[in-house]
Amino acid sequence: MSNKRAIRADTLNHQAFVKIDDEEKDKILNPHCYYKESRHTIITLIDENRHHASRIGFDLNGFQDNLQNISNRFYQLQNNYDLMKNYPNFIASHGKALTDWVWEEYIYPQMKSSSMVSNFKDSLQLSKDFEETRYDSNNGHNSWDIQRKLQEPLNEKYNDITDAIYKEWATIRDKAKGSIGLGGLVKNCLRFSQPEIHFNRFYGEETDETYIEKIRDYFSIDFEAKELTAEKQTEYITYVADYEPVLFIRMAQWMQFFADNPSIETVAHTTTSAYKSHDAFYRCSMNEVANANNNKHFYMPLEMGIEAPTIKDAIDNFSYTVTEWSVISEEARRASVIYNAEYADKEVKTHDSLVKTLNAFLKEKYENTGTKDCVLNLIAIQQHFGGGTTNVSFINETLQYHDFNRETDVTFYMNHIGTLGDGIIDLSKIGISDNDRNELSRMFHKKEEDVLQSHTWTMQRLIQQMTDAQNTFTESKKQRRERLMEMIQQ
């Protein structure tokens, strides 16, 4: 066995992965490279509306969406682009796109017109019947012997449903193989895994479409794109260009990379002990790779039976995505402007609701001679010149006012009165008399005198500290000079 090592990275031609020159396209694929005004509009909007993004909704292509979902999809483009610079991630995305193409173009149309959905419904019901055999009428667990006895007729029914599903799948599979041009491959190139009876669960709206989506989870493929006919490969590449433009760019880049480095025969993805991983490229088969242990996963360079798409064509194809996101950005901006205007208007209404409720509450307390002084103390606390909350008998009470943005009544705790800003308490609405207004003025001036006295004492201490520091410095300077003179006169 040979013991060949990876090709040095600095000897490979990485020109295929250079930065995209078109700034508008690069803002989508590498958004974190741009700052402030140069950022994409979607990122600016999500930063400006971060706390309300999920509530800024708008109509997009006939469906209701919101800014949060839109921004997630936007970042997913960049995330996929970054991930696919790692070859295993690219191969996984390529395989998923190939599977999606086969399903959407050749399997799904047959599913809609076949008995697969009805058979799958029967399979789901059978799973529920199996589950019910585990419990008695009191929701206790049946013994294993009782379960087996109850499940005997279900086992035969399970075999019948399984046979029906596989026969129907065989018809769909063989027709699809011929349509795709895979007639010469083994029958397992298109796979359907029978759902395990004890774990076959379905959640959500029970419609034919949702059932077909569930069936999709059990479908997979086992062939490579190069095994398709040239016509079908072209059809698949067109599908990728239309529905997976980011994958299309990476496909063009990887195929160009392998064309620029024809000596590469094997790709290995290596994981190190430091929880890091990287791609390595070899001029040999995997059997000749040095240290080919469990920390390496091997892949073959991507091959197609047709001419590879060029990077320029792939980047030009991305122009449609740029235009699409430009339209989405404008819709999102328009929706955010409308939402923020409505939000600000409702904030004013919410503020007015709190003001009205609080002042009505304080008016009631003020008219009660037993809590009159407490109201004055509470006002002083809210204006930050009062004493402690122990002087307010109703400090632990709560109020209910309406929040127009949340569209519900919310609670205000009186012990949070100090957190409110100006313009909340209205002395006229409470009915504060002139004498009590003078009392509030007296309390304010008393507090100011205390603050001034405290400030004066603080300044005196600081002046004394500065004087002591200056005297210490002067004495130290004098002593150093005297020591120097004594040394010179010796």
In sequence order, what are the residues at sequence separation of 6 or more whose Cβ sits closer than 8 angstroms to the Cβ of residue 69?
Answer: 54
Arithmetic mean of pLDDT, 441-446: 92
Question: How far are the Cα atoms of 54, 326, 327, 343, 404 from residue 58, in angstroms, in the given order?
Answer: 11, 15, 12, 15, 20
Which is more confident, 329 or 276?
A: 329
Arithmetic mean of pLDDT, 304-317: 88
Mean pLDDT score of the chain, rounded to an integer?
88
Cα 5 from Cα 13, distance rounded (Å): 18
pLDDT digits (tens, 9 = 90+) for 89-140: 999 999 999 999 999 999 999 888 888 888 888 888 888 887 788 888 787 8
Which is more confident, 394 or 422?
A: 394
Cα 165 from Cα 167, distance rounded (Å): 6
Where residue 191 falls among pLDDT bands split at 50, 70, 90?
confident
Handedness of CA 178, 180, 184, 187 (dihedral sign): negative
In this structure, what token pair is assigned to residue 300?
A: 């073959």
Lowest-pLDDT range, 52-66, 235-249, 341-355, 460-474?
Answer: 52-66
Q: Give domain limits for the chain.
A: 12-252+310-332, 441-490
Residue 170 has pLDDT above 90, yes or no: no
Using DSSP's 3-state secondary structure scheme, residue 277 falls into strand
Where residue 151 falls among pLDDT bands split at 50, 70, 90?
confident
In this structure, what token pair is assigned to residue 298?
A: 């091997």
pLDDT at 293: 66
Residue 206 has pLDDT above 50, yes or no: yes
DSSP 184: T
HSE (CB half, 13 Å, CA atoms) of 481?
6
Question: How far are the Cα atoms of 136, 144, 375 from residue 141, in angstroms, in the given order?
Answer: 6, 9, 64
pLDDT digits (tens, 9 = 90+) for 371-382: 888 999 999 988
Where residue 157 falls among pLDDT bands split at 50, 70, 90?
confident
Degrees (nearest 5) of the Cα angle 345, 346, 351? 105
Residue 2 has pLDDT above 60, yes or no: no
319-367 and 67-83 helices, crossing angle to 10°: 140
Using DSSP's 3-state secondary structure scheme, residue 405 falls into coil
Buried (b) or exposed (e) across 203-226, using 16+ Cβ within 10 A? eeeeeeeebbebbeeebebebbbe
pLDDT digits (tens, 9 = 90+) for 16-57: 998 888 889 999 998 888 888 889 999 999 999 988 888 898
Polymer length of the chain:
490
Phi-psi region of 410 (alpha: psi -120 to 50; beta: other; left: phi over 0): beta
Where residue 1 falls among pLDDT bands split at 50, 70, 90?
very low
Tokens 């009505």 belong to: 360
Q: What is the pTM of this model?
A: 0.77
Which is more confident, 337 or 181?
A: 337
Using DSSP's 3-state secondary structure scheme, residue 244 falls into coil
pLDDT at 324: 92
In this structure, what token pair is assigned to residue 400?
A: 């209910």
